[in-house]
Amino acid sequence: MTKDGAGDRTAAAARDAMMHEIARDVRLVADRLGKDEFDPAVMAALGRVPREAFVPEGRRAAAYVNAPLPIGHGQTISQPFIVAAMTDMLALRAESRVLEIGTGCGYQTAVLAEIAARVYTIEFVAELGESAARRLESLGYTNIAYRTGDGRAGWPEHAPYDAVIVTAAAETPPPALVEQLAPGRRMAIPLGPRREGQELCLLIKGADGQVARRAILPVAFVPLVSGPRCQD
C-alpha cells in the first residue's frame, strides 16, 4: 500500500467517525430538531465531500473533528453537525436551486452541490470566494455559480430560489433574501446578536408572502456584514 493509500484510509476512518458522531448528536437534540435522524441524502453528501480539502493545511489532522475550525480572515468552517443540520432544514430535492450567502471555504457549498441541481453562492471576502471557487472547481463541481460582494442583496437575476441558506448571523432576515425565496420554500439562517444569543432558525415562506419562523438550535456564527455591491 502506498503512503497516499494509507492517508486515504486514515481520512476515510476519520470521516466515518464524524458521521457516527453527527448521527449521535441528532438523537441528543431530537426534541429541538423534530426528528432523530437527518435525511439520508444529506448524510450521503457529507460522506462524499472531502472536508480535509477545505481546511488550512496545518489543521488537516483535525478536518473531521466535529467542531468549527478557523480558515483565515476572521472566518471559520462550520461544525459538520451544523452543516448537516442547515442542509437538512432546507428539504432539498435533486432539482432544487439554492442561494447560499457566505461561501467561506466552500465546504457547505460542496454539500449543497452534492444534492441540488444548482447552487448560487456569494462571499463577501474576495480572497476567500476566489479560493473556494478554485477549490470546488478542482474537485469537479460544475453546478455552482460564484459572486463576490454583499450577500444581503441576494442574487435577484436567478430568483426565485427553492432554498436560501445564510452562513453568518443577522439581527433580522434580510428582506431581499426573503423576497427571492419562492413561496412554500425554506431558509436556514442564524439570527441574533453578533456574538451570543443567536438561534439557528428555519423560515418558511407562505403562498401569501408571510414568513413563519422556528428557532431550532443555539449557535454562534460570525456576523453577516454589509459592503460593496456584488461582482461576478
Which residues are the active-site residues? Answer: 78
Helix or strand or coil: residue 90? coil
Q: Name the residue among 173, 141, 172, 178 with its Cα closest to residue 159.
A: 178
Three-state SS at 98: strand
- Per the DSSP assignment, residues forming a β-bridge with 99 are 120, 164
- Cell 441576494, residue? 154
The answer to whether 152 and 226 have CB atoms below 8 angstroms apart is: yes
59-69 exposure pattern, b = at least 16 Cβ within 10 A, e = fewer? ebeebbbbebb
